[in-house]
């Protein structure tokens, strides 16, 4: 079993907290933007056994294969949590108790704001959507 410190270090080095803002899907007559919140750790294909240990550590999430066709890159696997319940009840409390040490702490704090806003369905108002877009624009800098 991996330690809490190992998970924090792995996330500091290879993890990400991000959000995707999807416009309404006209085909389904949707009116509101969809906000997808993602926590993930991405590792090379030969590190799959390590990601399986991460999956055992967290009682949520999934592992998926990601093909990479770029030069000098390899196929990889991602451990990812996108479910709001898993993010709010497992991932966010874990990283609030076990603080990140890298610049990812800034993304994590913005991510927490976005997850909370999405939980309250704030993206359904223009004001709420704008606030989420502002937080998103500050991530990964």
Give me the pLDDT at residue 57, please. Answer: 98
pLDDT-derived band at 31 (thresholds 50, 70, 90) equals confident
Per-residue pLDDT of 43-102, as tens digits, reads 999 999 999 999 999 999 999 998 877 777 778 999 999 999 999 999 999 999 999 999
Q: What is the mean pLDDT of residues 1-27?
A: 93
Global confidence as pTM = 0.92
Statement: residue 29 has pLDDT above 70: no
Q: Where are the domains of the chain?
A: 4-137
Give me the pLDDT at residue 2, please. Answer: 96
- Please list, in sequence order, all residues whose beta carbon lies within 8 angstroms of the beta carbon of residue 113, skipping any fewer than 6 positions away: 135
HEC per residue, the chain: CCCHHHHHHHHHHHEEEEEEEECCCHHHCCCCCEEEEEEEEEEEHHHHHHHHHHHHHCCCCEEEEECCCCCCCCCEEEEEECCHHHHHHHHHHHHHHCCCCCCHHHHHHHHHHHHHHHHCCHHHCHHHHHHHHHHHHCCCC
Per-residue pLDDT of 101-131, as tens digits, reads 999 999 999 999 999 999 999 999 999 999 9
**Residue positions counted in the chain:** 141
Give me the pLDDT at residue 104, please. Answer: 96
At the topology level, CATH places domain 4-137 in: Endonuclease I-creI (3.10.28)
CB 111 within 8 A of CB 118: no
Give me the pLDDT at residue 11, please. Answer: 98
């Amino acid at each position: 079993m991996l330690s809490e410190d190992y998970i924090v270090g792995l996330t500091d080095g290879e993890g990400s907290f991000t959000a995707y803002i999807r416009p309404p899907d006209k085909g389904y007559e949707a009116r509101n933007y969809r906000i997808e919140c993602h926590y993930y750790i991405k590792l090379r294909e030969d590190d799959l056994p390590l990601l399986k240990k991460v999956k055992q550590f967290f009682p949520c999430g999934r592992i998926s294969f990601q093909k990479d066709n770029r030069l000098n890159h390899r196929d990889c696997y991602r451990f990812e949590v996108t479910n709001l319940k898993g993010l709010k009840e497992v991932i966010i409390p874990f990283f609030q108790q076990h603080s990140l040490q890298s610049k990812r702490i800034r993304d994590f704090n913005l991510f927490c704001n976005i997850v909370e806003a999405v939980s309250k369905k704030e993206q359904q108002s223009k004001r709420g959507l704008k606030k989420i877009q502002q937080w998103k624009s500050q991530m990964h800098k």
